[in-house]
Structure 1
Amino acid sequence: MTKAYWVSAYRAVKDADKLAAYAKLAGPAITAGGGRFLARGLPVEVYEFGLSERTVLIEFDSVEHAKSVHDSAAYQAALAALGDGAERDLRIVEGV
């Protein structure tokens, strides 16, 4: 089974309190679903058109696991807590 990765790239954090509320709910939802945090935080260096904003990399055992965690009630509650507190994009990428 091929690993899968969530790559979450933030464009802007608009409300630190909403981001903290999201993180409090999202972390447990992700780890309960088998996600493993590999990297998170501000970039050490930014090249090309990158933004110096938060980036998160999470490993899952498969694309199906990654998608099921995203679609779970627990993670959807975390997204509701985040609301408009951040602009970001989340991608699920299959490992090689």
Structure 2
Amino acid sequence: MPKAYWINAVRSVRDADRVAAYVELAGPAILEGGGRFLSRGMPARVFEAGVDQRTVIIEFPSADQAVATYESPAYQRALEALGDGAERDLRIVEAVE
């Protein structure tokens, strides 16, 4: 089973306090689910139709484990804390074997 990558791009922040509450809960939930943070922050450069927005890349042992983490009660609590505090684009993609 190939590894998978959880890629989260933050399009806009509406409420920094809600984002901070999300981060406090989401980090431990992701680590507990087997995730490993590979990159967080603004892009060094963007090209073509790229958007200059904060991006987080997290590696998981499999797509199933990434999805299970997203659906876990701990991560769902983080999402509840975030509410409408940010607009995000989140996707899970499998690695090429």
TM class by shorter-chain length? Answer: over 0.9
State which drifts further: 50-59 or 61-70: 50-59
Aligned residue identity for 1:41: G
Q: Match for residue 77 of structure 1? A: 77
Q: Does 1:10 align with 2:10?
A: yes
Residue 50 of structure 1 and its aligned partner are, at CA, apart by 2.2
CA distance in 2 between counterparts of 1:51 and 1:83 reads: 23
Residue 55 of structure 1 and its aligned partner are, at CA, apart by 0.2
Which ranges of 4 or more aligned residues in structure 1 deviate by more than 3 Å? Answer: none
Could you tell me which runs of 5 or more consecutive residues in structure 1 were left unpaired when the two chains were aligned: none
Aligned residue identity for 1:43: P
Q: Does 1:90 align with 2:90?
A: yes
Q: Secondary structure at the match of 1:22?
A: helix
Q: Normalising by structure 1, report the TM-score.
A: 0.95
Write out aligned runs for 1:1-96 (5 A).
1-96=1-96
Q: Secondary structure at the match of 2:2?
A: coil
Q: Normalising by structure 2, report the TM-score.
A: 0.95
Identity %: 64
Q: Secondary structure at the match of 1:21?
A: helix
CA distance in 2 between counterparts of 1:30 and 1:53 reads: 21
Aligned residue identity for 1:48: E
CA distance in 2 between counterparts of 1:36 and 1:7 reads: 12
